[in-house]
Amino acid sequence: MFGTPEIRPLCWVEHMSLDNETGLDPCGIRVRPVSGLVAADYFAPGYFVWAVLIANLARIGYEDKTMYMAAYDWRLSFQNTEVRDQTLSRIKSNIELLVATNGGRKVVVIPHSMGVLYFLHFMKWVEAPAPMGGGGGPDWCSKHIKAVVNIGGPFLGVPKAIAGLFSAEAKDIAVARALAPGFLDNDIFQFQTLQHVMRMSRTWDSTMSMIPRGGNTIWGGLDWSPEEGNSCAKKREKKNETQIADQAGSENAVCKAKSANYGRIISFGKDVAEAPSSDIERIDFRGAIKGHSAANTTCRDVWTEYHDMGFAGIKAVAEYKTYTADSLVDLLHFVAPKMMARGTAHFSYGVADNLDDPKYKHYKYWSNPLETRLPNAPDMEIYSLYGVGLPTERAYVYKLSPHAECSIPFKIDTSADDEDTCLRDGVYSVDGDETVPVLSAGFMCAKGWRGKTRFNPSGIRTYIREYNHLPPANLLEGRGTLSGAHVDIMGNFALIEDVIRIAAGASGEELGGDQVYSKIFNWSENINLQLDEEIPVHSSS
């Protein structure tokens, strides 16, 4: 279907959209994922995804009967892949078959990107009792999984998901990557290209799995963020675990120069993004009454939920001035209530106070690592492999669109720039792989799951393996063999070597433990998150 967007764009959008009420198939349309290794070897001719890694696994003896590509419809909410396609049951059956036909040896699971969240959901689903879960019992993961090797995992979500849902503008959201070259540049839908994209992507419940999780506790507030003092350009040196500890003192002495307020994920105006919080006058949008906008017959009507907000609702959003992670979910409920009604039935974005609360048995919490426990599998290992050294979207400067009646009423202010605070074209960047910030990819393995914590009660060993991005040396290298970019890292020689060694039986210690170039351990320490199980306090008169 790769050429379809350019040849028959409206037909493509119609078939790729899901039902806006159910999040499942629209009436009369059925699109399904391809099965087998070819499902994700190449995204398009010449553009590899899993192909290089599959070829290298074949070199050490893997073949069809010892490899399984767990293809799934990435548009659906994770639980709905089971409702419609029984995808989770198929993964369970195939893992059991691989173990049974290979002498009882456990599997190595290698998820990438959203697949990382999908497999977190699977590990809870497979052990949960039917009918909500797979009925595998509390020791299923321990019996069947040797290691989970996560690549580019957005464990705690990605800020660019907010920009994609809010204004369909994030620089390289998944939907834009799925479009033919020149799709947006040619403006084949004329004035309303982005509205068509928004209408389609807002029917994909899976996009809401990427909304930042953990609120201000993880992502920072109006006046702080874990990455405070981040520098845009700094030479990286590989650090082992002892060097990481030695670095902690020097990091605290970093000059308190002008730095970005990363906790303000959306700000209306550069002045608001930079101002002291005490100087910002805000009017709460939550109780605002939405108005009505007069229909403009000169605009082709592509319905988005913004049509129901009217000018009063649009003004209320802008007058709140700046949004942190805590208020972003409320913002999306205000601007896209129909989308969020579906999404919040399947996903949650908080931090659990008490994981023994029966509500956390519901599937909406299973892909949030801050609201669920890892399985009881002390012999299992969990890796977080990801690229660093690339500017990655973290916060945005917005403005009102001058044509709000016809188009999406909010847009990134691309005129906003400031080298000192990593602000370029209206986007504040931080270290990451161009898609997932270091904080999201690394925090759980650096701190949230490190050792025995309330999120990892059995003490599953966790390892971080970072790969410092180096661009291709020449045109013959193609996308590069040392790339740290979100998709291109699948061809990174160092990452492939690590995956091959794990697949051949090596442990994390045999790989050398953590391999870190970023400040993930320092940034993780800046996050005040309860990691111990709460001990009930009893009082007597």
**Tell me: the pLDDT tens digits for 267-302?**
999 999 999 999 999 999 888 888 765 444 445 555
Residue 171 pLDDT more than 80? no
Distances (CA, A) of 391 to 180, 387, 421, 424, 433: 24, 11, 12, 10, 7
**250 is a catalytic site residue:** no
State both tokens at 357: 């609360």
Alpha-carbon distance of 379 to 143, in angstroms, equals 10
pLDDT at 446: 98
pLDDT at 477: 82
Phi, psi of 155 (to 5 degrees): -50, -40
**486 is a catalytic site residue:** yes
Highest mean pLDDT among 129-138, 275-284, 393-402, 472-481: 129-138
pLDDT at 539: 41
Residue 197 binned pLDDT confidence (cut-offs 50, 70, 90): confident
**Amino acid at position 441, single letter:** A
pLDDT at 369: 98
Going along the chain from its start, the domains and CATH numbers come out as 9-157+373-389+435-526 (3.40.50.1820)
Tell me how far the alpha carbon of residue 37 is from its chain's centroid. Answer: 24
Beta carbons of 462 and 449 less than 8 angstroms apart? yes
Lowest mean pLDDT among 153-167, 293-307, 501-515: 293-307
pLDDT at 169: 81
Residue 176 binned pLDDT confidence (cut-offs 50, 70, 90): very low
What secondary structure letter does DSSP report for 453? B
The tens digit of pLDDT for each residue in 390-410 reads 999 999 999 998 765 567 889
pTM of the complete model: 0.91
Residue 442 pLDDT more than 60? yes
The tens digit of pLDDT for each residue in 354-396 reads 999 999 999 999 999 999 999 999 999 999 999 999 999 999 9
Beta carbons of 330 and 439 less than 8 angstroms apart? no
pLDDT at 407: 73
Task: Give the mean pLDDT of the chain.
Answer: 88
Calculate mean pLDDT across residues 120-145. Answer: 97
State both tokens at 520: 């993930």
Residue 497 pLDDT more than 90? yes
pLDDT at 538: 44
In the set 121, 144, 346, 486, the catalytic residue is: 486
Beta carbons of 335 and 354 less than 8 angstroms apart? no
pLDDT at 366: 98
Q: Which positions ≥6 away from 358 have C-beta within 8 Å?
A: none
In the set 77, 113, 267, 407, the catalytic residue is: 113
**196 is a catalytic site residue:** no
The tens digit of pLDDT for each residue in 19-29 reads 999 999 999 99
Residue 203, judged by CB atoms within 10 A of its CB (0-12, 13-18, 19+), counts as buried
- Mind spelling out the 3-state secondary structure of 366-402? CCCCCCCCCCCCCCCEEEEEEEECEEEEEEEEEEECC
